[in-house]
Structure 1
Amino acid sequence: MAPGGPGAGLGGIHGGLLGNQRGQAPGGFLHSGLGEMLERFHQAGHGPTAQSWVAQGPNQELPPQHLEQAIGPDVLATLTQRTGLSREELLSRLSRELPQAVDRYTPDGRMPA
């Protein structure tokens, strides 16, 4: 299967959300880095939840519909196109996996320097 096809792992999605695919996405979100991504969650009213992913301790869950609100339709459309996943499946997976990915990216409970 081609990279980014239906069999693509979530690593590519996480990489895009955390800023590893610079200049390849609309809205400035995918290439904006972790700080800007978390700021979008704050602006959407989900700051405490997103901060729990960074902080040490349990990660709060974010339902798929709230995740969709925070990341926006342009990013969602790009990710569904790149992964070959349906919108619902993509949101479901990100809802489960994004908190863990951010948690792993911030193992000491704070943003990387």
Structure 2
Amino acid sequence: MSKSTPSLLALLGLVAVAGYQNRDRISGMLSDARQKSTASGTPLAPAGGGFIAEIGQFFQGRSVSTALGDLVDRFKAAGQGDAADSWVSDKSNMPLGVDALEAAVGQETLAELAQKTGLSQTEILLRLNVALPDVVNRLTPNGRLPTEGEGQALV
């Protein structure tokens, strides 16, 4: 599997760090950041440092459509396109086993996420397995991937 794009790594990192408990708040956090950035006319950089600040830098002035497109492409290349497409569509989300998720995300990406977040690869996979389908679904409310300029800017 090829190296992750910065935006894909940031999206996966955000979902892994936020975890299942905060899955309902991820879209709200992204929307709030987008509105504040638009109102002030300047992109917002997260306060503090660490991986959350790094995530904000990856998305500075970019939209989530690139990360979502990379994510779906990666899952399709790993033979999990039906599951990823179900998360984007307005139909029920197909579950994905941890082994299939691991194959789609890739060892290099998991290792980098573990290093940056301090979570074990197992914990990252478990969190992504639970939260990723719902997060992708919430970020694609029209049942399709957003296009550039169609909103969904993270910061």
Give the TM interval when normalised to the shorter protein.
0.7 to 0.9
Partner of 1:80: 114
Matches within 5 A, 1:1-113: 8-10=17-19, 22=58, 33-113=67-147
Partner of 2:7: none
Partner of 2:44: none
RMSD, aligned CA: 2.7
TM superposition shift of 1:55: 0.2
- For 1:65, the aligned partner's letter is D
TM superposition shift of 1:108: 1.1
- For 2:74, the aligned partner's letter is R
Secondary structure in 2 aligned to 1:33?
helix
Q: Residues 71 and 111 from structure 1, CA distance in 2 versus in 1: closer, same or farther, beyond 3 angstroms? A: same
> Which of structures 1 and 2 has the bigger CA Rg?
2
Q: Normalization by structure 2: what TM-score?
A: 0.54
Q: Normalization by structure 1: what TM-score?
A: 0.73
Alignment partners' CA distance in 1, 2:113 and 2:82: 25
Determine which structure has greater relative contact order: mean sequence separation of CA pairs < 8 Å that are 6+ residues apart, divided by chain length.
2
Which stretches in structure 1 are left out of the alignment for 5+ residues? 24-31
Q: Residues 72 and 20 from structure 1, CA distance in 2 versus in 1: closer, same or farther, beyond 3 angstroms? A: farther
**Aligned residue pair count:** 95
Alignment partners' CA distance in 1, 2:104 and 2:145: 19
